[in-house]
Structure 1
Amino acid sequence: MKTIAISGASGFVGSSLNKFFTELDYEVIPIKRETLDDKTKLESLLNSSDILINLAGANIINRWSESYKKLLYSSRIDTTQKLVSAIKNIENPPQMLISTSAVGIYDNKSTYDEKGNFSNDFLSSLCQDWEKEALKAKSEKTKVSIFRFGIILGEDGGALQKMITPFKLGLGGVIGSGKQAFSFIHIKDLLEAYKFVIENSYEDTFNLTAPKPTTNKGLTLALGKTLKRPTILPLPEFVLNIIFSEGAKVLTDGQSAVPKRLLDLGFEFKYKTIEETIENLCK
């Protein structure tokens, strides 16, 4: 039986991974805050773990005050530094570290695979620094893969749970122009991608997005069609700017990314389009 240690295990993705791999007869060990802050305990835990999945980080969809931006940074970078330091200090480190990043690392000028151009804003810089820290764990004993998440859609949490209520009430609509890219992935495809990479020991950077990115308008139309509700009430960008300040960019300035590396390796997505995804989750 393989052992998987997970930082950030209490979140939507972490709890989904815990359930998924437990049902596959892996032993899953959540890394608690007190363990993360105790060097000896952390090293002991990782010394007996085969795989480490790093998900820790404060919620990106929030108002980005200067203090919250510092929290976004420290919750990702500091945690990753502790994990990497522990890996380097032990005799039997995990065979693989899968660390998280986001497609927000790219600019919004084109559709990109994993070699796309980076932006120069706060979110991209955060992702770049996060990836650099994780890659320091790479050695002869430990492979490192980076998963750049798109917007994760699922029934039990994530972005869809937050946006579906106004649509059910007939109050849903596009955000701003609706033309901004929306790169997404069904939670079930995301879980299968983890399994695929772990079981094949693939070391690379992967876009965790469906093969066919859409736009905010495409998402809105798919929700309206599946829920049989009107989608005529747009949400102006200035309202989001008031609520989220700079953090509104996550919703108003999306990136278009495709999972070229996964597709090249033969991974098969079950939910390739936004229509298939929403129909499955909201039917």
Structure 2
Amino acid sequence: MKTIAISGASGFVGTNLKDYFTNLGYKVIPISRDILNKKDKLEELINSSNIVINLAGANIINRWTDKYKKLLYSSRIDTTSKIVNAINSVENKPELLISTSAVGIYDNQFIHDEDGSYSNDFLSKLCQDWEKEALKANSFNTRVAIFRFGIVLGKDGGALQKMLTPFKLGLGGIIGSGKQAFSFIHLEDLLNAYKFVIENSNANLAFNLTAPTPTTNKGLTLALGKTLKRPTILPVPEFILNLIFSEGAKVLTDGQNVIPKKLQDLGFEFKYKNIEDTIENLLKN
């Protein structure tokens, strides 16, 4: 029985990963904040783990004040640094570290596979620094994979749950122009991708965790309206989001057009390839 240690295990993705791998027969141990902040405890846990999954990080959808941007940075880079230092210090190194990043690393000018060009804004630089920190654990003994998440869509939590209330009330609509790209992944495909990369020793470095067919904000809006049988005529003006989230509105008003080339090249099969199938599956009774 292999042991998986997970930071950020109490979040939406972390909770689902914990249940998923427990059901597969793995021993799953959360890396709590208390363990993270105590070097000896963290090294003891890492020393006894076969796989480490790093998910920790403050919620990106928020108002980006200078103080909050520092929290976004420290909650990702500092946590990753502690985990990497522990991996590099222990005698029994884990065979694999899967660390998180985001498709926000790319610019929004083109369709991007894993070799796509990066943006020059705060979110991209955050992702770049986050990945560089994780890759410091890459060695003969420890393989490192970076998962660049699109928007994770699943039942009972995450981004979809936050979207549903206005749509169910008939108040849903596009954000801004609605033309911005929306790269997403069904939670089931994301969980299966973790299993796939754990079992595939050739899988390393960066992977886009997004469905093969990205959509737009308008495409998402229409899929939600169709499945819920609700109108989608009330757009959300971009300036309203800027007032609420300041610079953080970029997460909603910009978009990255991303495809999962590396996973597909390795033979990974997505069950939910487009937004219509994804939304229909998640919202069907």
TM-score relative to the length of structure 2 = 0.99
Q: Work out the CA distance in 1 between the residues paired with 2:154 and 2:103.
A: 18
Letter paired with 1:17: L
Q: Where does 1:127-276 land on structure 2 (aligned, <5 Å)?
A: 127-201=127-201, 202-276=203-277
- Deviations along 1:50-77, one digit per CA (max 9) or x if unpaired, are 0000000000000000000000000000
Q: Work out the CA distance in 2 between the residues paired with 1:4 and 1:22.
A: 9
Shift of 1:210: 0.1
More displaced stretch, 200-209 vs 116-125? 200-209
1:124 aligns with 2:113: no
Q: Work out the CA distance in 1 between the residues paired with 2:215 and 2:200.
A: 29
User: Equivalent residue for 1:79?
Assistant: 79
Q: Work out the CA distance in 2 between the residues paired with 1:268 and 1:89.
A: 37
Q: Work out the CA distance in 1 between the residues paired with 2:165 and 2:275.
A: 18
Q: Work out the CA distance in 1 between the residues paired with 2:168 and 2:126.
A: 35
Identity of aligned residues (%): 77
- Deviations along 1:23-54, one digit per CA (max 9) or x if unpaired, are 00000000010100000000000000000000
Q: Work out the CA distance in 2 between the residues paired with 1:252 and 1:159.
A: 15
Shift of 1:256: 0.6
Aligned residues between the structures: 283
1:24 aligns with 2:1: no
Q: Work out the CA distance in 2 between the residues paired with 1:203 and 1:177.
A: 37
> Secondary structure of 2:268's match?
coil
Q: 5+ unaligned residues in a row in structure 2: which ranges?
A: none
Q: Work out the CA distance in 2 between the residues paired with 1:51 and 1:106.
A: 27
Q: Work out the CA distance in 2 between the residues paired with 1:156 and 1:207.
A: 24
Shift of 1:203: 1.3
Shift of 1:199: 1.1
* Cα-Cα RMSD: 0.5
Q: Work out the CA distance in 1 between the residues paired with 2:32 and 2:184.
A: 28
> Secondary structure of 1:101's match?
strand
User: Equivalent residue for 1:57?
Assistant: 57
Shift of 1:220: 0.3
Shift of 1:204: 2.5
Moved over 4 A (4+): none
- Deviations along 1:156-214, one digit per CA (max 9) or x if unpaired, are 21110000110011000000000000000000000000000001122121000000000
Q: 5+ unaligned residues in a row in structure 1: which ranges?
A: none
TM-score relative to the length of structure 1 = 0.99
> Secondary structure of 2:227's match?
helix
Letter paired with 1:73: Y
Letter paired with 1:90: V
